[in-house]
Every structure is written in C-alpha cells, then in structure tokens.
Structure 1
Amino acid sequence: MTNVTKDSLSGIVLTKHISFTTNEFCRACGADQTIVIRMVEEGVIEAAGPAPDWEFHGEALVRAQRAMRLIEDLGVNLAGAALALDLLDRMEELEATALRVESGL
C-alpha cells in the first residue's frame, strides 16, 4: 500500500465570483507585488477598487498566470505578454464563433 500525503495535491477552484486581495493574488500567481502592479498598469490584468486595496477576480488570476509563463518561458516583457494574451483571447472568441456557425446556432 502506498502512502499519500495531504500535501500531494493543492489548488484553487476559480469562478467569476471569487476575489483576492493583492497579497492573496500575489501568492496565488507567484509574482511579487511590483510585478502585479506593472501587470495592472500594462493592461495585462484588471483590478477593482483603489490602489493599494485592489481586488482581483478569478479571471485575472488565470491571465496573470499565463502572463508569468510567457515572461518566464519565452522571455517576453509585460507589454508583449499583454499583446499575446489579447491575441489569444481573440483567437478563442473566433474559435467559439466558428463552432457556433458550424453547428448552425
């Protein structure tokens, strides 16, 4: 029999209604506060409320994590990550539209 520890799996279930404080958001996306502030300034993610008491939603966390992967894996800067994410979002929208057209909706 194998031993499985409780720490072997961890994660966050994201919905549109979940929100994070700035500190929680930084921990969840693995970025320090300076990078998160720059992500907001560059339009990579959106924050609600006045700085520094921002509130972030689940969708922003997904975008921030994708941006961090682009930055770390491909070496793009934040402006490049924002552009890439916007283009990826647009591609997903177009694919969804194409599927609706193909299915006759």
Structure 2
Amino acid sequence: MKSKNGHQDSSPCVQGAQGSAADTPELSGTLLDDQHLLTVEDVCRVCAVRIEYIEELVEEGLITPQVEQVDALHAAKGHELQSWRFTGMHMRQARIAAHLQSDLGINLAGVALALQLLDEVEVLRMRVKAIDAT
C-alpha cells in the first residue's frame, strides 16, 4: 500500500489491513480491573521493569499496593514485597511511569505530576460524557 507521499508503506498496521481476516493473527488477553489482583512479579513482567523500580514507585507514593496478610514467618522485610497486590490501575500507572522516565527522561516528581494530570483529564472526560448523555 502506498502512503500519502507515494512511498511503499511497510508498517504492520497497513499490511494487516490489506490481508484477509484469516491472515490476521488472533490476539488474546485479560482485561484487568480492581477485582483482579496482581503480584509484584506480575507487574514487573508486564511493565518490563525491575522489582526495585516498583519499590521506588511505592516509596514515592505513585502507586499504593494492597497488602495481603502474611504469617509471622514471612513478615520479614524480604518477604514484604511478596505480600503486595496491585490492581489493573496500578499496573497502568506503573507502565505510564516507566514510559515517561525511559522515553522522555522525566524524573519521579514529573511522573507524579503527569499521572495526577492524566487522572484529572480522565475525570473531566467522564463528566463531559455524563453531561452529553443528559
């Protein structure tokens, strides 16, 4: 398929659009909400970050995990991370934070501000949608 400037476009989206439905690979996934709880390892794997990065986000207050009750044997500091549980929203915030830092070089204070502003934009969008519905 040719792009607007007349050159052959090799983007996967364009090629996928040309093929039939049989040529398109099937995607699958799980929608995460506040009912699905993820371990710190799950969040690290999905966000492609180290556990130390998630610890840093928690220490800075950018995300606040739920803490699962653990017995006295596992209550030591080393096992504290294993009791953390995160929602889909936490994972989304961790991914955004990682992208802002790695792609744009924004520090954690800037990331915190960006996440807060993104949350406010989402609230405003919901308000506009509610107003439009009436």
Normalising by the smaller structure, the TM-score range is: 0.7 to 0.9
The alpha-carbon deviation at position 22 of structure 1 amounts to 1.5
Q: Which runs of 5+ in 2 are unaligned?
A: 1-21, 69-79
Amino acid at match of 1:30: A
Match of 2:41 among 23, 27, 35: 23
SS of the equivalent of 1:67 reads helix
Match of 1:43 among 61, 66, 70: 61
State how far apart, in whole Å, the 1-side matches of 2:64 and 2:133 are. 33
State how far apart, in whole Å, the 2-side matches of 1:15 and 1:96 are. 17
Report the aligned-residue RMSD: 2.3
- TM superposition score normalised by structure 1: 0.80
Return closer, same or farther for 1:42/1:10 CA change in 2, 3 Å cut-off: farther
SS of the equivalent of 1:16 reads coil
**Percent identity of paired positions between Structure 1 and Structure 2:** 35
Could you say which residue in structure 2 is the equivalent of 1:68? Answer: 98
Q: Can you list the C-alpha shifts for 1:46-99, whole angstroms capped at 9, x where unaligned?
A: 211173221111111111111111111111012211110111110110121122
Which structure's relative contact order is higher, taking Cα pairs within 8 Å and 6+ residues apart?
1
State how far apart, in whole Å, the 1-side matches of 2:97 and 2:28 are. 21
Question: Moved runs in structure 1, 4+ residues, more than 4 A?
Answer: 2-5, 8-12
Amino acid at match of 1:73: D
Match of 1:80 among 110, 113, 118: 110
Tell me whether 1:32 sits opposite 2:50 in the alignment. yes
Q: Which runs of 5+ in 1 are unaligned?
A: none
